[in-house]
Amino acid sequence: MNIVVGVCGGIAAYKTAHLVRLFKKTGHDVRVVMTDSAQQFVTSMTFQALSGNEVATDLWDEQQEAAMGHISLAKWADWIVIAPATANTLSKIAQGIGDNLLTTTVLASDARLALLPAMNQQMWASSAVQANVAELVQRDVVMIGPDSGEQACGDVGAGRMVEPEQALKELGEIWHQSWSGKLVLITAGPTLEDIDPVRFIGNRSSGKMGYALAEQAARQGAEVILVSGPVALKLNHPNTDLIHVRSAQQMMDAVQAQLESNEFDVFIGAAAVADYTPIQVSEQKIKKSEHVSDEMVIQLKKNPDIIAGVAAHVNRPQCVLGFAAETQDVVGYAQSKLARKNLDWIAANDVSQSEIGFDSNENAITLIGKDSTHTIKQASKTHVAKELLEIILKDLEGSIHE
């Protein structure tokens, strides 16, 4: 594969040297483009030695541009990988600005683009940068990282460029499309059970775990249908189809409709479905003044068991995986749910821990199967999703118990 590696100005540029070495070691042809700022951190000679090719640095290099150097690079590349990708370069690419050799090459190329962001944690969290990231993801640009941790400036938070080995692993998963040909159905987020037009019963789910699973499966080649309760998240990937629902019954209906019309390989029930729903829903807002007593009783009935219905369906997917969000005896309750609902796997997580509980960006799960158990240590939900999918894929391919 032909890879153009773009290097921007940041202390993380030293990591890119190792990334180039890894690309070469795994059989790829690499050409490096450096911005002016990047050359303040690492010399072009370093990348020339590691890539085996002359390094391109100047849009105004008469010798290179006599042959339209940026156009030839753009046509040559199968992938363009920018590492580190600074806030400045992210902005330029998002806005279609081509004012240096790297950004001009990106604009002139139809190659897939991967960005490895690296910047101060406050810069990464800024609304402007996040808007640019969202725009780029919507265009199917691959974002790898950033990681969280201590930064060169002394701050701690998200913004560190991922390690080269991790970047190679994630890109390798995309290049090899390990989930290609698989059809996956996922539920995510909460369900909201209306009491009246302004009040509801629901669970404290952000949907982040389910969305991470959908995006990672799609990135690895799967066709994904995500049935989601109300969340403040976006899903942007060409291999995904998003179905919005509100209540448990609506989610059940959507899932059953999909099972009737498609042959799914995998179902992942990551939604936090409300166990009960009001028997009666008032058409008008219930007024506090209407009740003489200080107490109000709402009669509830059980909601349909979505995942048990999937496991018992005539078109049951090959693999049915559920989640068990518990606050005590996490593994015990999960094992009981696994057997009772005839699941293949269940992901147990302790939501009593605030750092991995509802609405957090990290998770840690115990993935329990009928005859094996795997521990996925605390990490970002994106990373947890990757590990979980890797285990499930091995199971689908029949190699996990060998």
- The answer on pLDDT for 71 being more than 90 is no
C-alpha distances (whole Å) from 188 to each of 77, 213, 228, 235, 289 are 37, 9, 5, 12, 37
User: In whole angstroms, what is the distance from residue 204 CA to residue 261 CA?
Assistant: 31
Q: Which residues are catalytic?
A: 153
- The answer on pLDDT for 355 being more than 70 is yes
The confidence score (pLDDT) of residue 399 equals 47
Select 183-396's CATH number: 3.40.1280.10, 2.60.120.10, 4.10.780.10, 3.40.50.10300: 3.40.50.10300
- The answer on pLDDT for 278 being more than 90 is yes
Q: Where along the chain do its domains lie? A: 2-176, 183-396
For residues 361-382, give the mean pLDDT.
90
- The answer on pLDDT for 69 being more than 80 is no
For residues 323-348, give the mean pLDDT.
90
Residues above pLDDT 70, as percent of the chain: 94
- The answer on pLDDT for 295 being more than 90 is no
- The answer on pLDDT for 282 being more than 80 is yes
Per-chain mean pLDDT for the chain:
89
Residue found under tokens 């890797």 = 390
The confidence score (pLDDT) of residue 66 equals 46
The confidence score (pLDDT) of residue 143 equals 92
List the single range of 73-77, 134-138, 158-162, 287-291 with lowest mean pLDDT: 287-291
List the single range of 57-61, 121-125, 173-177, 218-222 with lowest mean pLDDT: 57-61
List the single range of 226-235, 303-312, 379-388 with lowest mean pLDDT: 379-388
For residues 334-358, give the mean pLDDT.
87
CATH topology of domain 2-176: Rossmann fold (3.40.50)
- The answer on pLDDT for 162 being more than 80 is yes
306-323 per-position pLDDT tens digit: 999 999 999 999 999 999
Confirm whether 2-176 and 183-396 share one CATH topology. Answer: yes
The confidence score (pLDDT) of residue 400 equals 45
